[in-house]
Structure 1
Amino acid sequence: MPVDLLSRLVRHGREIPDREAVVFVRHGASGPLEEPLTYGELDRRARALACWLRERCAVGDRVMLLYGTGLDFVSVLAGCMYAGVVAIPAPQPSTQRGHSTRSDGIVRDAEVSLVLTDSENHDTALGLLAHAGLDDIPCVATDRLGLPDAPSDWQAEPPADERPVIVQYTSGSTSDPKGVLVTWGSLNHNLGLTSRAFGVDAGHRTLSWLPQHHDMGLMGMLLTPLCQGATAYLMSPMDFLRRPHVWLRLVGLKRINTIVAPNFAYDLCTRRVTDAQLTGLDFGSLVSAGNGAEPVSADTMRRFAERFAPAGFRLDHFSPCYGMAETTLIVSGTLPGEAPVLTSVDTDALAAKEFRPVAPGTAGTWLVSSGRVHDLELRIVDPDTLATRPDGRAGEIWVRGASVAAGYWRREEVTERIFRASTVEGERGFLRTGDIGVLHDGRLYVTGRLKDLLIVNGRNLHPHDIERELVSLHDGFRGLSGSACSVPAAGAGAPGSASEGEQIVVMQEIRRAPADPDELAALSARLRGDLSARVGVRIANLVLLRPGQVRKTTSGKVQRSLMRELFIDGGLEAVFEDLDTAAAGRYRSEATPV
């Protein structure tokens, strides 16, 4: 039956009031500490807050939510929906530079009428507003309100398909954020797709550590189970990063059916979970392990499945998927019970935008299918000619359908270009995703980002392929992050220079770097040579960084544009730099250890 989130939340509060809607799990010294919220309590709290909001806001006003992971956020978000105001989830207030810059940009752009937070974050939120010059905006700690219950005859604001319900700010930008206008129509449609993709129903239990302001954490792992009357278990991102085994242990302890995370999380677990911790794991209840939000690695999936096989995990538990905030969340997925499809393709052909599977035993590049597209239209389009490409040929992924959001808040020109694109054949109303992909046997393979594509010596190279190859070349890179980009080369067109006037820069975190500068220089020279041989083009520049220096979004995506800017502007604190002579003269005073 068609999904209507608001009506379902009201009905759940009436029909299954004692069922746990959300359980927040904190990691304590003696084990997990649970804080439950039932559907009856959620409905009661949402009604009380909605009554309070209606006295202060008009339908359609924007309200910013500044909370950490927890139950307060869940109740306040539902209250905004009941009141008919537009919720703007944002990162938890922080004094850290990257976080404050992002929140600053959101609060300036959103034109909010009210900021809601909790007492723990209230002072920091006030500081954020003052820094943005917006200290005239009311900022309220909702846990201090002590609201009375709503009158028994109180009714939630009826939703309209075209009315925005959430402004979802994209995670890749800091100073120039874009707010995606998620309408009731696009939200309800996508919750139906996500429920199907992960097999979520009323008896389901999901588990997530993803930030609640991020599209996968919000739409996929909070609103989807709430829509179905399931139970969502939540834990904080920091608890996961500090103790990844706790995430996996809760699967067995709470008989979890669905987990979803970016690829890096599965890689982290493979490396960090000890043999002793492995003995306490149990994946017997698991139905689906979603893998999305960044390029999905066949190697990561295989190693995770092998590592956790003794606990009952199988490769076919993985459900690779693809989506983005602009489509509310999911576009394609691998349904529960379907084995993920891994295909080895000809590397040179892929660089020429052709998907050509190779015979077993033949060297190639392994790609993971993000599954099939259901109830949405998808085209693969040449980004230059706007012509639709046939199956087996790579191009930009375009999407059309009811899950696509209404556009970007206050950005009509960008909305027109991105959300209302037309193919040269005359098909209109498509979203340009900016991602590169290919269709093969009815399945979607995502191969990279259009804006990240590197074109060197006539070859199309994806940064994550270069980054993946480098990590395999040295034990000190294992589990750490890298970022590849291209920069203008001095003397373009001169003998030995990269075509298109570009040369490659690879920035890589390293653990326990040699202290001797001569050893570092020799290591770097070897790595550049080996990497150049593997990817088939000259790697001109290598920058080694301390762990944690590669900038990422909240979902773990490498911010390659920002890393490129930092390299060009000299904003990186490098352990060692091995730069091409032209790059050293253009971007650095000298290529020496730092």
Structure 2
Amino acid sequence: MRGNMTTLTLTPTTNTVLPFKTSGFSDLTNALEYAAKGNTGFNFYNANAQLEQVLSYTDLLDQSLRVSHCLLLLGLKRGDHLPVIAETRAEFLILFYACQYLGIIICPCPMFASVAERSTFATKTLHMASLIKAKFLIASNGLINAFFTENTNTLKCISFEQLTQEAQHSKLLTDSTQFSPIKENTVAFMQFSSGSTSKPKGIRIYNHDVCEHVRIVLEEVMKLRAEDRSLSWLPFYHNMGLIGFIIASVNGQRSVDCFSPFTFVGQPSLWLKLMSCNKTAITYAPMFAYQLAIRAFTDELASDLDLSTLRVAGIGGDTIHLEVMKKFHHLYAPYGFEFNCFLPSYGMTEAILAISAKRAGEPVIIDHFENKELVSCGHPLSGYQLTIKNANPISGRSVGNICFKNNAETDTLIGNLDSDNGIIDTGDIGYLHEDNLFILGRQKDVILIRGRNIWTEDIKTFIASNNNELTADNIVVSSIEVEQEDRLVVMIQHNQSSTFQVIKKQLKKQISQQFNLSADIVFVNELPLTPSGKIISDRFVELYTKVKDRQSK
């Protein structure tokens, strides 16, 4: 499974021995067993763009069954919850499907996404483990030694490496009577929503529902083809990475090339290089990834770049900016990228994955709203109903809280999701126009300052477009109550202290002139955001207070 570039060979794009299918799978193990009859699979790259691991679906099935026996020997049984740090490695996929064979509910836990999160990584992970009353925690040797040596009195840590070694040295038992695969509509796994608070929500995903949802995404949205190859750096604990690429790829028997989100952030050009080299047809990422790809453009990168095979460049997970899409297209159109390859979408963990999406091959829809150009997130997927609650007429559109309803049985550790007769409020504001969904922002992104509704996204976009040294993804805008008054706060990730005062004075003037508002400008080394880009409220207040206290001394 592991090796160097001279001993590893990419799994093929097209299955030469297995008919292509996307439906008819009763459960996740059934889909894997079908895919294992072919010769496609997963390929893992390291930060040096070297092929580091290859895992065909045949090997994934074999290794999953072996690891299943190891889990049984640990005393794990059907219905137990197993937290696993979801690193981008083949061993996670093996463990995921091993749990499916035993009826163990795997709970992918996030890696820390930043330096600031390192300090709370162990605490948050142990908190998640305690929520599900876990007896074991699976992670790499490196993470266990760095974070979990002193804080696990009631939790036994087991490494991927240990499980892999035991599986390799054990004989694959033909007796599988102790197996109890997850069937019908029982819980298949649990996902912790990233959330904007320190208390993540464990959301249970059911087997039949995820199989059906993936079928709809593959057939209706992606319009998957037998010759498609995918590329992903999305984290495996996120629904876009876990459901959108791991499960969807197995259920569609597609070969996927992967590398870690840490590698992407440090080296976004690798994303483009692999698209070109491996003739990628489908990739997916949040909006900020396309911004990084714009900055990564160089003549050297472009010298042998070919993006002509790309037919789906999915966007989801954060605010969609038309200007970024246009810039990306302008830069990469000469190398085969087509604007209508963009596939904007909208979803959340509570909905399994996607609620609405543009369909592959269809044009990007743009609407003009209050002097803005907004990009449509497509129309609802089959089985989903979208409604706008508490709507108000604004510029000819009925704007309000975006709510959805579907037929899935998704719930949480402590019971059903918060809903009104099955209708779930997403927490976002937007509108429907000609069956297309347009997002204006989070309900929390509309802040009230002196009786005025202020769209924080408007302020971010204005600042970024009028200050070349700043970008929207390095800015957070919110309000804080200070001495019984709501105060507008602009927090900027910027480490050039010599320019703080100049930028601060300039921004205060610009915001005052454009929005008739007084703003506090604070600079930080790292923004208080979740991996999904949501503001961590308590951390925001803490950073603001620290900066203001330091300035007052």
What TM-score does the superposition give when structure 1 sets the normalisation length?
0.81
Select the residue among 423, 426, 435 that pairs with 1:430: 423
Q: Give, as a single letter, the amino acid of the residue that structure 2 aligns with 1:242.
A: G
Moved more, 61-70 or 262-271: 61-70
Task: Please give the alpha-carbon distance, in whole angstroms, between the structure 1 residues aligned to 2:43 and 2:522.
Answer: 44
Runs of 4+ more than 6 Å apart: 137-140, 386-391
Are 2:443 and 1:450 equivalent residues in the alignment?
yes
Asked if 2 retains the 8 angstrom alpha-carbon contact of 1:391 and 1:439, the reply is: no
Are 2:317 and 1:297 equivalent residues in the alignment?
no
Asked if 2 retains the 8 angstrom alpha-carbon contact of 1:437 and 1:446, the reply is: yes
Select the residue among 139, 142, 145 that pairs with 1:123: 145
1:395 — aligned with what? Answer: 400
1:171 — aligned with what? Answer: 194
Shift of 1:402: 3.0
Select the residue among 369, 373, 384 that pairs with 1:366: 373
2:4 — aligned with what? Answer: none
Select the residue among 143, 146, 149 that pairs with 2:167: 146
The Cα offsets for residues 333-356 of structure 1, whole Å up to 9 and x where unpaired, read as 11111121122211xxxxxxxxxx
Q: Give, as a single letter, the amino acid of the residue that structure 2 aligns with 1:230.
A: R
Shift of 1:86: 0.4
The Cα offsets for residues 267-306 of structure 1, whole Å up to 9 and x where unpaired, read as 0110122122122221111110001100011111000000
Are 2:508 and 1:528 equivalent residues in the alignment?
yes
Shift of 1:142: 1.4
Task: Please give the alpha-carbon distance, in whole angstroms, between the structure 1 residues aligned to 2:163 and 2:181.
Answer: 24
Task: Please give the alpha-carbon distance, in whole angstroms, between the structure 1 residues aligned to 2:303 and 2:157.
Answer: 52
The Cα offsets for residues 391-422 of structure 1, whole Å up to 9 and x where unpaired, read as 9312222111134x522213x4xx45x2x31x
1:37 — aligned with what? Answer: 55
Select the residue among 406, 413, 422 that pairs with 1:409: 413
Select the residue among 128, 138, 145 that pairs with 1:106: 128
| % identical equivalent positions | 22
Shift of 1:365: 1.5
Q: Give, as a single letter, the amino acid of the residue that structure 2 aligns with 1:503.
A: R
Task: Please give the alpha-carbon distance, in whole angstroms, between the structure 2 residues aligned to 1:53 and 1:136.
Answer: 13
Task: Please give the alpha-carbon distance, in whole angstroms, between the structure 2 residues aligned to 1:540 and 1:261.
Answer: 32
Asked if 1 retains the 8 angstrom alpha-carbon contact of 2:235 and 2:260, the reply is: yes
1:577 — aligned with what? Answer: none
Shift of 1:93: 7.5
Q: Give, as a single letter, the amino acid of the residue that structure 1 aligns with 2:373.
A: W
Are 2:298 and 1:321 equivalent residues in the alignment?
no
Task: Please give the alpha-carbon distance, in whole angstroms, between the structure 2 residues aligned to 1:298 and 1:86.
Answer: 40
Moved more, 51-60 or 263-272: 51-60
1:57 — aligned with what? Answer: 76
Shift of 1:562: 4.0
Task: Please give the alpha-carbon distance, in whole angstroms, between the structure 1 residues aligned to 2:244 and 2:345.
Answer: 11
Task: Please give the alpha-carbon distance, in whole angstroms, between the structure 2 residues aligned to 1:35 and 1:169.
Answer: 27
Task: Please give the alpha-carbon distance, in whole angstroms, between the structure 2 residues aligned to 1:314 and 1:440.
Answer: 25
The Cα offsets for residues 98-133 of structure 1, whole Å up to 9 and x where unpaired, read as 433432332222211322234443424642xx4254
1:2-17 aligned within 5 A: 2-4=24-26, 5-13=28-36, 15-16=37-38
Using CA pairs below 8 Å that are at least 6 residues apart, which structure has the higher relative contact order? 2
Moved more, 140-149 or 102-111: 140-149
Shift of 1:37: 0.9
Are 2:478 and 1:485 equivalent residues in the alignment?
yes
Asked if 2 retains the 8 angstrom alpha-carbon contact of 1:64 and 1:87, the reply is: yes
Matched length = 522
Gaps of 5+ in 1: 347-363, 422-427, 493-500, 573-586
CA 1:341–1:149 in 2, change beyond 3 Å: closer, same or farther?
farther
Task: Please give the alpha-carbon distance, in whole angstroms, between the structure 1 residues aligned to 2:104 and 2:339.
Answer: 43
CA 1:136–1:288 in 2, change beyond 3 Å: closer, same or farther?
closer
The Cα offsets for residues 69-106 of structure 1, whole Å up to 9 and x where unpaired, read as 11111111111111111011113479921433432332
1:65-464 aligned within 5 A: 65-92=84-111, 96-124=118-146, 126-127=148-149, 130-131=150-151, 133-135=153-155, 141-147=162-168, 148-152=170-174, 154=176, 157-173=180-196, 175-195=198-218, 196-346=220-370, 364-382=371-389, 392-403=397-408, 406-410=410-414, 412=415, 415=416, 418=418, 420-421=419-420, 428-464=421-457
Q: Give, as a single letter, the amino acid of the residue that structure 1 aligns with 2:107.
A: I
CA 1:310–1:288 in 2, change beyond 3 Å: closer, same or farther?
same
Task: Please give the alpha-carbon distance, in whole angstroms, between the structure 2 residues aligned to 1:93 and 1:540.
Answer: 31
Select the residue among 476, 491, 505 that pairs with 2:489: 505
Asked if 2 retains the 8 angstrom alpha-carbon contact of 1:67 and 1:91, the reply is: yes
Asked if 1 retains the 8 angstrom alpha-carbon contact of 2:222 and 2:360, the reply is: yes
Q: Give, as a single letter, the amino acid of the residue that structure 1 aligns with 2:522.
A: V
Task: Please give the alpha-carbon distance, in whole angstroms, between the structure 1 residues aligned to 2:506 and 2:148.
Answer: 51
CA 1:304–1:98 in 2, change beyond 3 Å: closer, same or farther?
farther
Shift of 1:12: 1.9
Asked if 1 retains the 8 angstrom alpha-carbon contact of 2:196 and 2:536, the reply is: no
1:551 — aligned with what? Answer: 528
**Cα-Cα RMSD:** 2.8
CA 1:97–1:507 in 2, change beyond 3 Å: closer, same or farther?
same
2:519 — aligned with what? Answer: 540
Shift of 1:136: 5.1
Shift of 1:53: 2.4
Q: SS at 2:412's partner residue?
A: coil
1:26 — aligned with what? Answer: 46
Task: Please give the alpha-carbon distance, in whole angstroms, between the structure 2 residues aligned to 1:219 and 1:243.
Answer: 24
The Cα offsets for residues 305-347 of structure 1, whole Å up to 9 and x where unpaired, read as 001111111211100011111111111111111121122211x
Shift of 1:51: 2.7
Moved more, 89-98 or 451-460: 89-98
Task: Please give the alpha-carbon distance, in whole angstroms, between the structure 2 residues aligned to 1:528 and 1:390.
Answer: 29
